[in-house]
Every structure is written in structure tokens, then in C-alpha cells.
Structure 1
Amino acid sequence: MSSALSSQPTKRNVKLDDIWPELEEGIYKIITDLYKGFPKNKWMALYTYVYDYCAASQSKTTTKVGMPKQQASGANYVGEELYNRLNLFLKKHMGTILKVTETKMDETLLNYYYTEWDRYTSAMKYINNIFQYMNRYWIKREIDDGKKEVYEIFILSLVIWRDYLFTPLKQRLTNSLLDIIENERNGYQINTHLVKGVINGYVSLGLNREKPKETILQVYKSGFEELFLQATETYYTNESSKFISENTVAEYMKKVETRLNEEVKRVQQYLHPNTESELIAKCEKVLIEKHVEVIWNEFQSLLEKDKISDLTRMYSLLSRIPRGLEPLRATLEKHVQTVGLQAVSSIATNGGPIEPKVYIETLLKVFKKYNDLVTGAFRSDTGFVASLDKACRRFINENAVTQAAKSSSKSPELLARFTDFLLKKSPNNPEESEMEQILNDVMIVFKYIEDKDVFQDFYSKMLAKRLIHGTSTSEDLEGTMIGKLKSTCGYEYTSKLQRMFTDMSLSRELLDRFNNHIEQVERQALGIDFSVLVLATGSWPLQPPSTNFSIPKELQGCEQLFQKFYQNQHSGRKLNWLHHLSKGELKTKYLQTSKSGYTLQCSTYQIGVLLQYNQYDSLTAEEIQESTQLIDSVLKVTLTSLTKSKVLIAEPPLDGVEELSKTTKFVLNKQFKNKKTKVFINVPVLTQVKEEIDSIHKTVEEDRKLQIQAAIVRIMKMRKQLAHSSLMSEVISQLQTRFNPKVNVIKKCIDILIEKEYLMRMENSKDMYSYIA
């Protein structure tokens, strides 16, 4: 049998005892004198020693004839003894450093420790590179084989520092750090760079046993952070108790704010970022939560004194702790309600009629003051917004003015009248540039009004008058206001208002066709300028006249001519003339004191009375009533307005007269004088205004009953059967966006529907209702 033997050349064997003295000397020089420089050729020599020693392996391969090649032995990297020598060297070095620290304390200790730490870690990065070959092969193989106590050289250096230097010094180091930090809290300047360097060492020593290259915070947390947080709690417990007992709450809150900012800055300067949440939570508990009742008790005083900056600070601090703001929200609600009620009472003390403008501006002043507080100091916090809303809703709907009127409907009435004042032509109107904001203010009050149906009725009637009499400031502003109401309450709320504008447009087109239709001869024959508005009954909140009226013969031709034209245009439709809403102008020719005469702007009823004086200088009330056919109440109002404007003179005077005497004479005043040539005499008297307001309120009550009945039917039609309490709550829920239905009215409406056989009480349970299909 023949055989062949082949072999690879072997690397020379390197003995550790031969290379270690130079390695040890080089490592020692790097660790102690790195900053003086280390020659590159010396570094390469040390790297070569490690490489030659670790690469000293015996690799032999034998091949026999007729047999496959096989590995006799693989690479056998050397390193264990070198690793152990370096380990012992570093431990010995730790002992040397530890010996020096015995004579040092406080900041001197920290300075020495940090200097050595910085020198050591910087040096070990270089030494790690010298041992890089061993890291890549022998150490990697050992780690892969599960050797837990073998690390890459740099990691080894940290483990040795941690176990043989840091652990014995830990308590002294931490105490020194805490003393320095307390000095800083007491106002002394400290070396933050030193503190940061030492603390970073705590972090670096948190080695993950499973993944040694990863850093965890175990050493930092157990060795420093836990003790630091305890010291923080003790420090601020003592300081806060002393400070709050010697200073005002406002000063204390400033102190707390400063301390919290300082602690955040402290983390940013030299602590680990993960400490911030626990540190601030600890401070909040000690500085705020432990003294929260004292802070709460100061809130009312700050509100009363309008201490905005202090309130801002209080909100900021209390929002940091659980349920810190809850008592403040309740206090704010009660305070705003009280201030609002007092403000309204102050304008309602004279006993006279309240001016809508004064009333609404008073409500808005209170709202704006505390809305600014909520949106500013309280950062639009939803809880405070809700408190403000509740308070405003209460004092706007129930106050001295509504109590005097014995109705919560007074607020929506006054708001509607204020809106009418804004949108009606007047020399006192605000600038157009201001109107958008003022209308927004109107909507603020409108939002809190509970009886929105009352506002709707008043507003629609006042809008109708503005459109009919042409007294709107501008149609654009009217449209803007309706748009705001629509966005708040929906299309249904404003549908009739929008149809009124459509009617006005159609009516103008109709009048143009009428004017083009009649010939010039006919127009001259009439002898008067005539215009008419044709308005759809279902869209306008207009009541039929409460009295008969015999239209003067001077106007009869106009009406008849238009009536004929309209019937030709729209056969089958009926025109109802609303003379009580009509007006006109009369030119005076009987006054010698005026060369050009006066133009009297009158209602149609006033025109009907005054035209009688083309034939007579004096007429009794009975004679005027016979010619006009006006009923007593309307006749009295009409004649009273004419005597107040001094166009007629009553004999005897009407002042204080409750019933108009048939024999009272009304004489044409031929000495009438006025500074203006155009005189507006169609001024409604107070009784007329009051009757109109009462009529609207009565209409609202009737409409509400119908809406309640409709809601009941809708609910029962869907549910079929329902308990009394459930029906009541569902009705209230459906209608409360328009008004708050009263329980007794709902009960009456249920009884009405039972009588009408929409519902029935169930035999087995009188508390249950059933829908009758």
C-alpha cells in the first residue's frame, strides 16, 4: 500500500511570557499617559504581538491514497491566557485608583473619579483596537460557545471598572452628587459638566448581561436615580411647607413654577432624559398635590380681584395633577352666574322699561370678560368652557329682568328687538365695518337663549315690518343674519325668513309689470303715486286686520285698478288688503305759516281720518268712526297718535282718558308747526306696542302646544307603546333645542291627544300609553 503525506507550513509559536512585558508596559502607558501621545509604530508593534500570539495555530491535513481528504484538526486560536493576564492587570489598576480615593471626598472625589473615568474609557478604546484580532476570533468563539464571563476587551474594561471600582465607591459618589445638586437648589453655582460626566458613567456601566454591547439603565436607576428622587421629595417637602406658611398663595405658585422649570433644566443639563417624567411627577406631588386645598381656596379671591396672571399660573399648575381642576370649574360657574345676575340687577333697578341695547350689552360684557379668561388663562379647557356655558345660560334666561316680566321669554324678546335696532335704518346705526362683529355678538347671546322659538317669532315679525316699510339697513346684512341663524339652528328655522325675501323680489317684479301695464293717462287720473306688495300668506307672520276699514274714496281707484290687473295675471287667487300695515304720505295745503307745506308720513288709518278734513275743520269721534268704520280701540290709538303729533287738537284733551268719548271733538290744527318739512306721525303708542308684544307671546304659547302635540304623535307612532316618564323625557329631548317645554303643558297636550283619540291609556297600566293608528 502506498501513501502520500502533505502538510502546510506552521506559524511560529509565540510564547506569552516573551510578549507580555512589552504589552503590559504599552497598555500601562496608554492608560496613564494617553494624552501625551502614543507612537503609531509602537501601537502597531503591540497589535502585532496580539495577532501573532492569537494566530499561533496548528493546521495539518493528511491525505491517503484511495481515501477522501479529511480534516485532522481545525484552527486552534489562542487567547485565554492573554485574556486572563489583561483581566488581572485591569483589576490591579482599579485597586490603585481605589486606594487614591480613600483620601478624597465630595467634589474632590468626583473630580478625581471623573478624570480617571475619562482617561480610562478613552484609553480602553485604543487598547480594544490593539486586541481587535482576539475580539474577532478567540473572544467571539468563546461567546458563541456560551461563555458568560468572556467579553470583548472594551466591555471587559467596563465590567472591571463597575465591579472593582464603582461598586465600592457608589455610595460615596452618589452622596457627593446629591450634595452638589442640593447646593444648586439652594442657589449656589456648581460644575454641571462634572456632574454630567459622572452621571453619564452611571449610565455607561449599565451593561446588559444578555447583550453586553447594549446599555441599560439598571446601574443609573438603582445607584443614583432612586436616591435622587427620595432626596428631591425630602427637599421640596421641607421647603414647600415652610414657604407656603410664610408667603401668599400667589407667591407660592410662582415659586413652584420656578422650581418645576429648574428641574426640567436640570434634566437637560446633566441627568438622563428618562428621569424627567418621574422627577416632575415627584415634584408635582410634593409641591402641588400636597397643598392643593390651600390653592383651591384662593381661586375665588383671584377671580374677584381679576388676577389673570395668577389664575393662568394656577390653571397651569393644577392641570398637572389628577382632578386638580374640578373644584375650580364649579367655583367659576357659580361666580360667573353671580356676576351676571348682579350686572342685570344693576340695570333693572329703576323700575322702567329696559332698553334692549343696554340689556344685551350688559349680558355680553359679562360673557366676554369670562370668555377671555377661559380661552386665555384656562386655555379653552373643555371643563371650563362647559362651566361658562352653564353659568351664562342661567343668568341670561333667569335674572332680574325676566323675573320682573314673570317670563324667561323676556330675554329672546329683548334680543330680537336689539337685532331689529341694528338692522333698521337709523342715524344711530353702527358703522357697517362693525356690524359683522356685532351680529356675531348677537349670536353669542342667541346660543344661550332657551326659548329660541320666542326669538324666531319676534324676529320674523320685525323683519316683515322692515321689509314691508323698506327700513332695512341693507339686504346684505339681513341675509348675513339669516345665514348665521341657519348655521346655528338649521334650514327649517329660517325657511320662512328666506321665503319672505323671495316674495319681496317677486312682488317688485309684479309691481313693475303693473306700472308698465297701466297707461300714462290712467296714472295721471289717479293723482297719486301708488305701490303695492303682494305677499304669500304662508310665508309671512302677518295677522289680518282687527277692524273694518272704509278706505277713502281717493284711494279706491288705486286698489280697484291693481285688483283687476292681479286677477288677470292670477285667476283664482284672492287678495286680502292689510290696511293696518300700509302707509302713505299727505301734502298739507291749509297752513299759511308754511310756504311749501309739510309732508305727513302716516298710516293708512291716519290717512283715512285726515282726508275727512278736506271737507270739515272739526269732527267728533263718532263722525270719524262712522266714516272710517274703525272699531273703538283702533280709532282711539289712531286719534291719540294724531293729537300727540299736534296735527289734530282734541276737545277735551285725551290725556289720561281710558275710553274715547263719542262726543270728543277733533279740530284740524291750522297753527301746526314743525322744524322738519317731512314729519313722521305714524309713531306707535305704548299701549299699541304692549298689545303687539303680548300678542306675540300668546302666539308662541299656542304654537308650542301644537309642536308638543306633534312631537308626542311622532314619538308614539314610532314606539307604539310607552311609559309616561319615558314619553315626557323624549318630548323634552326633541324640543329643547327650540324651547324648554313645561311638564304641566306636556300633560295637558297628552290629555288633548287622548280626547282626539290619537292615544289611549292602557287598561292594565294607567302609566302606559298606546298609539291608536
Structure 2
Amino acid sequence: MTSTSTSTSTSASTLPAFTDLNATWTFIQPGLEFILGAQNEQGVTSTMYMNCYTAVYNYCVNKSRRGSTPASIATNTENNSYSLAGAEIYNKLDVYLVQFIRNLKKMPNESFLEFYVRKWTRFTIGAVYMNNVFDYMNRYWVQKERSDGRKDIFDVNTLSLIKWRNEMFQPNCDILISQVLELIEKQRNHLIVDTNLISTAIKSLVFLSIDIQDLKKPNLIIYVNSFEKPFLEATMKYYSKESSDYLANNNVVDYMKKCETRLAEEISRSNTYLEDHSKKAFVDILNQAMIENHAQEMYGQFIILLEQKQIEHIQRMYKLLSRISKTLDPLASALEEYIKKEANSALEEIKNQTEAEIKEGKRKAGSGVEPKVYVNTLIAIYNQFNDIVIQAFNKDTKFIRSLDNACRYFVNNNVIAVPKPRAASKTPELLAKYADGFLRNSAKDSDIVDMNADNLMIVFKFINDKDTFEEHYRRSLAKRLINGTCKSDELEESVIHRLQEENSIEYTSKMTKMFSDMKASEDLKLKVKEKINSGSGGSGGDCIIKDFNPLILAQSMWPFRHVPEYDLNVAPELAAPFTNLKAVYTEQHNGRQLQWLWNHGRAELKANLSRKGKPPFSFTVSNVQLMILIAFNKKNSYTFKELHEIVGTKRETFEAHLAPFTKYKLMDQSTEEITDDTVFTIVEEYKSKKLKVNFISAIKTNEAKQEEDEASKEIDEARKTYLQACIVRIMKSRKQMKNNELINEVLPQTSSRFKAKIIDVKRVIDVLIEKEYIKRIGDTSFEYIS
């Protein structure tokens, strides 16, 4: 017969009988008291711990026995099934934990929160050790019970937490959370508090959020329902009141500084106390209470800060509002409208200044705003607000878009660009003139110090009618190439390359071909020179031309489609180069025809009209003027009729080219009014302060107006062709389309070149119907005719 130990001390050397549940429990209970800290917070000794572990182990191991069934007894056979022990001692522990927790007492002058944190901390440490004491039971009996479907059986550590939740937390939840929130509010009011109490209490809720159906599943239900919701409500209430009170007594800038401080404090607090689950909702509450609810007050201060150029405070406002993306939209819209207003004021100012200078006689009537002044004003506005977007708005795409929208508006629509309603914008033309200003070698460095390709490209990006710019730019480029006034080929090609990058290869294809023509003309020039020098092309020795620079230009690429009828008679002294040029070109390109552009040519000639001992004058003249002056090599005087018959061209053109010679006193005119009998006599001694005299600049013709009209016509024709090609391409792909669908697809495809109008698209559609590219189907649809 086995003896049973009834010792009540776990330090006793004699362990209880493994068959006696009560004796075993009586043996280990004092040890559990020490483990859980019931004995004046004292811990358990190693001997006591090992005795408790051994007692539980002996009971579970030896109590587990080979079981018998009624069937095995009747047949006198053994059943090899094995029954694990643990239920009895598990139930004892369950009852003990409930009683232990209920018996915990609060110290005098101790708040419930302090009591809770003190006991929780000790209890959870003890629960870990107690879990180890019952390790054997956990690993075998508990695991088997749970695998058999017993979801109400837990390892000892989990059982301890569940009992704490049921017996300590749930009955006292309201007072615990209330005291936690009170302490957080005190901390917000900058009072000194024990932050460990807050963090430990909150973390306990996470440990207590146990899903008894699935212990491995993450669960925050206790934390969320008991703490997170009231915490967020308290935060909203606190900061709603504080924000309103502060704004009632302080300005917006100080309020924004206050927000920055408060947000930093709360973010730090959230990192200390809160679970990740709560952080987004917490930040949203802060943003709503401090920022979103008072965004209108910030918007009201925004324009003032812009006017005062308070970049630091604008940046502060942006950083706060950027925490709630939707609150930035009104700010971005306000910026866009402000930029438009500032641009309009700046452009109005330079327009009024120009008009005042015209009234004072400082500028010619009708001269308008100088391209340089206009473009530099656009650039100054862009740079001013681009700096703000970079510095204050951190290159935020919303504000970049606002800047771009505003720039696109005021670049194309302002009092200078559109002086009359519904007129085409003049910005593309003015921009082309601006480019010509710094690309011509005749420009003074002091005049172009603030003009460059970077500024050109900034404005180019915003113009709607890029085809208009291309036409005017190409015309000024043509003049620079023909007259040899390019500052440098490298600079010209660099600008064209940048235009190509911003738009397309197609956009700059004609400009590129113009450069190719110039290089091809150089090769042709050498061959003509060789032919003249060899004597095979006629009497080269009698020719008075020392340097002949022919340019062969492809008509479809250069902006000279409509050539004025000059019918200029080439002087015999100049015939050889022209004859040889035609012969060489025809030999290389059989079947092609040359058409002379007399109005675009120029000549530099030496005039021996100086006093003795002085160098000859150098005259820059047009081709018509060249023929006039060469005639005076034979005699000093001609009647108007004689001279006109020698030179040719229409009378109107002839008079215009002749007038500068009398104006600058190179010739004497016999009568004030010109008739056929008016005699023109060249002076024997020309007087001028300059040795180089440009007579071309004094020619007054309507060619400039014709060229402007021609450019407008060229742009209109090109747009019609472009729209036709675009519509045909779309219809060929889609076969059938409704009217609105077709228009909506055409408009975006033309935006890279110009801003097409719906009425223009409709007119082109009618043209294509007449040309039988498409046909109508009913009243609202079209079909492609294959």
C-alpha cells in the first residue's frame, strides 16, 4: 500500500503521492502563491519551483494509465489504449485562478489604474512561470483535448489571461479606461504623468484580446472596443475645442505653428502607446480636428501670404493641408487664379507703359510691345511662381499643374496677345521674334544678355498654337540663313533639337531640311565657281562679281510658296554666274525648274564715291538696287523711264527700291514728283559718317504685310490639311463613328500643334464628304469610304 504525503509546503523534500489529487494540489498551491506574487510580491525559489514542476509531472505521468473497457473485462483481454491525465488538476487551477484574482486588493491612496498595472505586471510574469510548471500537462493533455475539439481548454498562460480578462478587466473596464484617458489628457495639458501606467494598461488590452476559437489568429477586439474607440472620441473632442479656442484668440500663422507642435507631440505619443491598427485612424482624427475643420481659415490667409511672399508660412500651410489630400485642391485652384491675376496686372503695366512711350514720341506709333519685354515678362512671372512651387509646395504635381494651367492661360490670353476679342493669339509670333532677337549675329550682347533658348522653351511649352510659332520661326530662320545673319549654326541647331524634343521630329522636319539646303548650296557654289574660273561657262574674267553665293531652296520646305512677280533684268556684267548656276543645277537635277527669289537676295558692293585718299564705301543693297547702281557704271544720269526699262520689275516695286538712294542723298532727283522724265544723277562724292551703308532697311513696300497675310494663309491651309489627315486616319481605323465621338477624338490629336475649334472640324468633315473620303449615315454618324 502506497503512503500519501500531506505536506503543505512545496519546500518539503517529500513529494505527494502521484495518485492523490488533493495532496498534489495542496503541495503545489503555496508555490503558486509565490509564483503569482500573493506572498507580499515575493518570488518563488528554485527549489520550490522544481518541486511544483515535479509534483505536477508525477501526477500527470503516473495518473495516465492503460484503460480498460467493459468488453476487455468480459473477454479477459487488455486494451492497449492510453488515457492522459490532467483534467482534475486543470479544473483545480481554473478555480484557483478565479479566486486568486478576486482576492487581489488595492492599496490605500492607490488609483485603480495604478493597482491594475501593478498587479497585471506581476500576474503576467507569474503566469509565464506557472505555464512552465504545468508544461507537461500543456504539451500532452491540453494539446490532445484541443485537437479533439475542446476549444474551452487552454495552455496555462492563456488560461491565466482569460481569467484575468473575465475577473479583473471586464468588471472594471470603464474605470480603467476612464483613468487611462484622464492621464493622457493631463499629458496633453503638459502635466507630468507616469507614462508607464498608460502604456502598460493599453498593452494589457492587446494581450487580453484572445480569440478562444483560434488562439493563433491575431485579434485586437478588446483593445479596439474598450480603448481605441473612446480614445479616438476623446482626441476629437479635445482638439476640436482647443483648435477653435486657439483660433479665436490667435492668427492663422500662429495656429499653424501650434498645429505642427501638437502633431509632433501626438505622433510621438502614438508611437509610445498605440498599436499600428490605431495609428491611421488616430492621425485621421488629428487631421480632421486640427486641419480639415479649419481649412477655410487657412485658405483665407493664403492669398495674403502670397502677396507678402511669406514662403516659409506657405510651406507650413502646404505641409499641414497635404496631410489631407482633398484639402489641397482649393489651395491649388487659388494659386492658379492668383497667378492669372498677377500675370494680367504685369502685362497690363507693360502695355500701358508702351502706349505712354508712343504718346510721348519715344516710340513709333503702332510699334507695340517689344518681343523681348513681352517674353521676359512672361518668364519673370513663371520663374516667380515656379520658385514658390519648388520651395513651398515641394514640386507637388497638383501645384505644378496649377502653375502650368495658369501659364497656359495667360501666355495665350492676355491684353497684349489678344488685343481684340476672338482674335488669334500673337504670342507665337512674338515668341518667334524673341528667338530671332538672340539668334541673329547683328544683335548687341548687351541687348540679349537676358534672352536665351531656355526662356524660349519655357514659353513654347505653354503656347497653344505651336504651328503658328513654327511658321513665324521658320520665316525668321529663313531670313537668317539667306542673309547669313545666324549667330552660330550650333546655336540654331540646338534650338531646333530642343523644339523637336518638346514636340516631334515632324514638327521640325522643314527646319532641318532648310539646313540641308544650305549645305547643298555650298557644294553647288563651289561647282559654279569652278565652271566660271575654268572659262567653260563663258567669260569669267569680265564678271564684276567677286563672291557669288547662290542658295537653292526646296519650295515645299521654305516659307516662300507665293513668289512675287519681279521680272528683274539681270545686268550683262552679272550674267555669267547666273547662267552657269542654271547650267550646273540642270546638269545635276534634270527636269527641275529654278524660280528666282529676287526679293530675298542681297548684295554687298564697293562704291568709289569717297574723297581722294579715303577707302570706298560698302553698300548693302537689294537685287533691284544692285541692278540700278550697276547701270550708273556706264553714265551718271538716267531718266526714270530709262532706268526702269534697264532694271525691269513692276513700277511700284522699282520706285520703292529707288527711293532710299534719294533719301540718303546718293542720287539727286530733278523733280519733286516722279515722272518718266525725272532725271536721277549719282553724286560724285558721297557723304556719310559710316563707310557701311544699308539701303535695304529704307525700302518701303507692302511686302511685310503681304508676308504676314501669307503666313496666316499658310497656317490656315496647313491646319485644314492636318485636320483632314487626322480625320481620315481615324475613320479608316474605326470605319463608322458618331459625330460627337469623331470630334472628341480629333481635338486631342491636334493639341500638340494647335487648338482646333469644333466649327473648323465640322467644316473639314464637310470637305471630306465632298471629296468622298467619308459619307453621312443618318443625321449623326459617318462611314469611311474604302
**TM-score w.r.t. structure 2 length?**
0.84
Q: What does residue range 181-192 of structure 1 map to in structure 2 within 5 Å?
A: 181-192=184-195
Alignment match of 1:412 (pick from 409, 420, 428):
428
Distance apart, 1:380 and its partner CA: 4.5
Secondary structure of 1:100's counterpart equals: coil
177-186 vs 259-268, greater mean Cα deviation: 259-268
Alignment match of 1:625 (pick from 644, 656, 664):
644
Tell me which residue corresponds to 2:117.
Answer: 114
Whichever residue aligns with residue 526 of structure 1, its letter is C
Q: Does 1:492 align with 2:506?
A: yes
Secondary structure of 1:43's counterpart equals: helix
Q: Does 1:537 align with 2:534?
A: no
Change (3 A) 1:685 1:342: farther
Alignment match of 2:587 (pick from 537, 546, 568):
568
Whichever residue aligns with residue 26 of structure 1, its letter is G
Distance apart, 1:734 and its partner CA: 5.1
Q: Does 1:580 align with 2:599?
A: yes
Whichever residue aligns with residue 307 of structure 1, its letter is Q
Distance apart, 1:69 and its partner CA: 10
Whichever residue aligns with residue 46 of structure 2, its letter is K
Distance apart, 1:134 and its partner CA: 1.6
Tell me which residue corresponds to 2:359.
Answer: none
Tell me which residue corresponds to 2:438.
Answer: 422
Alignment match of 1:402 (pick from 410, 417, 432):
417
Tell me which residue corresponds to 1:371.
Answer: 386
Supply the distance in 2 between the matched residues of 1:698 and 1:666 (Cα, whole angstroms). Answer: 42
Q: What does residue range 301-320 of structure 1 map to in structure 2 within 5 Å?
A: 301-320=304-323
Alignment match of 1:49 (pick from 50, 55, 59):
55
72-81 vs 30-39, greater mean Cα deviation: 30-39
Q: What does residue range 316-327 of structure 1 map to in structure 2 within 5 Å?
A: 316-321=319-324, 323-327=326-330
Alignment match of 1:700 (pick from 715, 726, 735):
715
Deviations 1:668-723 (A, max 9, x none): 37242334x44444336576544433432243334445555666677778888887
**For the Cα contact (< 8 Å) 2:305–2:313, is it kept in 1?**
yes
Q: What does residue range 731-742 of structure 1 map to in structure 2 within 5 Å?
A: 732=747, 735-742=750-757
Distance apart, 1:276 and its partner CA: 0.7
Distance apart, 1:753 and its partner CA: 6.8
Tell me which residue corresponds to 1:87.
Answer: 94
Supply the distance in 2 between the matched residues of 1:629 and 1:353 (Cα, whole angstroms). Answer: 36
Supply the distance in 2 between the matched residues of 1:590 and 1:412 (Cα, whole angstroms). Answer: 45
Distance apart, 1:749 and its partner CA: 5.9
210-219 vs 659-668, greater mean Cα deviation: 659-668
Q: Does 1:357 align with 2:357?
A: no
Change (3 A) 1:117 1:700: same
User: Gapped runs of 5+ residues in structure 2?
Assistant: 1-15, 69-73, 356-366
Secondary structure of 2:603's counterpart equals: strand
Whichever residue aligns with residue 598 of structure 1, its letter is F
Whichever residue aligns with residue 308 of structure 2, its letter is K
Whichever residue aligns with residue 237 of structure 2, its letter is T
Alignment match of 1:556 (pick from 565, 575, 587):
575
Tell me which residue corresponds to 1:7.
Answer: none
Tell me which residue corresponds to 1:391.
Answer: 406
Whichever residue aligns with residue 451 of structure 1, its letter is D
**For the Cα contact (< 8 Å) 2:465–2:755, is it kept in 1?**
yes
**For the Cα contact (< 8 Å) 2:531–2:580, is it kept in 1?**
no
Secondary structure of 1:415's counterpart equals: helix
280-289 vs 717-726, greater mean Cα deviation: 717-726
Q: Does 1:170 align with 2:178?
A: no
Tell me which residue corresponds to 1:483.
Answer: 497
Supply the distance in 1 between the matched residues of 2:217 and 2:744 (Cα, whole angstroms). Answer: 64
Change (3 A) 1:36 1:514: farther
Alignment match of 1:663 (pick from 678, 681, 706):
678
**For the Cα contact (< 8 Å) 1:296–1:328, is it kept in 2?**
yes
Change (3 A) 1:12 1:194: closer
Supply the distance in 2 between the matched residues of 1:708 and 1:662 (Cα, whole angstroms). Answer: 55
Supply the distance in 2 between the matched residues of 1:652 and 1:248 (Cα, whole angstroms). Answer: 82
Secondary structure of 1:587's counterpart equals: strand
Q: Does 1:607 align with 2:626?
A: yes
Tell me which residue corresponds to 1:6.
Answer: none
Deviations 1:342-381 (A, max 9, x none): 2222212223422111111111222233334345544555
Deviations 1:82-141 (A, max 9, x none): 3333334433432343x2257422xxx434432332222222212211211121223333
Supply the distance in 2 between the matched residues of 1:499 and 1:288 (Cα, whole angstroms). Answer: 59
**For the Cα contact (< 8 Å) 1:514–1:565, is it kept in 2?**
yes
**For the Cα contact (< 8 Å) 2:670–2:678, is it kept in 1?**
no
- Report % sequence identity: 34
Supply the distance in 2 between the matched residues of 1:700 and 1:742 (Cα, whole angstroms). Answer: 14
**For the Cα contact (< 8 Å) 1:652–1:664, is it kept in 2?**
yes
Whichever residue aligns with residue 46 of structure 1, its letter is C
Change (3 A) 1:557 1:284: same
Supply the distance in 1 between the matched residues of 2:721 and 2:90 (Cα, whole angstroms). Answer: 99
Deviations 1:3-27 (A, max 9, x none): xxxxxxxx97442444444422222
Q: Does 1:471 align with 2:485?
A: yes
Change (3 A) 1:273 1:704: closer
Supply the distance in 2 between the matched residues of 1:666 and 1:731 (Cα, whole angstroms). Answer: 63
Secondary structure of 2:621's counterpart equals: strand
638-647 vs 523-532, greater mean Cα deviation: 638-647
Change (3 A) 1:421 1:646: farther
Q: Does 1:142 align with 2:148?
A: no
User: Gapped runs of 5+ residues in structure 1?
Assistant: 1-10
Supply the distance in 1 between the matched residues of 2:348 and 2:651 (Cα, whole angstroms). Answer: 39
Change (3 A) 1:236 1:721: closer
399-408 vs 704-713, greater mean Cα deviation: 704-713
Distance apart, 1:413 and its partner CA: 0.7
Distance apart, 1:39 and its partner CA: 4.2
Tell me which residue corresponds to 2:20.
Answer: 15
Distance apart, 1:725 and its partner CA: 6.5
Change (3 A) 1:432 1:690: closer
Supply the distance in 2 between the matched residues of 1:71 and 1:644 (Cα, whole angstroms). Answer: 141
Distance apart, 1:314 and its partner CA: 3.3
Tell me which residue corresponds to 1:4.
Answer: none
Q: Does 1:220 align with 2:223?
A: yes
**TM-score w.r.t. structure 1 length?**
0.85
Whichever residue aligns with residue 595 of structure 1, its letter is K
Supply the distance in 2 between the matched residues of 1:41 and 1:343 (Cα, whole angstroms). Answer: 92
Secondary structure of 1:325's counterpart equals: helix
Q: CA RMSD in A?
A: 3.8
Tell me which residue corresponds to 2:458.
Answer: 444
Tell me which residue corresponds to 1:247.
Answer: 250
Distance apart, 1:234 and its partner CA: 1.1
Q: What does residue range 713-752 of structure 1 map to in structure 2 within 5 Å?
A: 732=747, 735-742=750-757
Secondary structure of 1:599's counterpart equals: strand
**For the Cα contact (< 8 Å) 2:565–2:649, is it kept in 1?**
no
Secondary structure of 2:678's counterpart equals: coil
Distance apart, 1:410 and its partner CA: 1.4
Supply the distance in 1 between the matched residues of 2:308 and 2:429 (Cα, whole angstroms). Answer: 34
Tell me which residue corresponds to 1:271.
Answer: 274
Distance apart, 1:733 and its partner CA: 5.4
Change (3 A) 1:748 1:126: closer
Supply the distance in 2 between the matched residues of 1:34 and 1:497 (Cα, whole angstroms). Answer: 97
Distance apart, 1:500 and its partner CA: 1.6
Matched pairs, number: 747
Whichever residue aligns with residue 550 of structure 2, its letter is V
Whichever residue aligns with residue 410 of structure 1, its letter is K
Change (3 A) 1:706 1:39: closer
**For the Cα contact (< 8 Å) 2:667–2:680, is it kept in 1?**
no
Whichever residue aligns with residue 414 of structure 2, its letter is N
Q: Does 1:30 align with 2:35?
A: yes
259-268 vs 624-633, greater mean Cα deviation: 624-633
Distance apart, 1:158 and its partner CA: 1.3
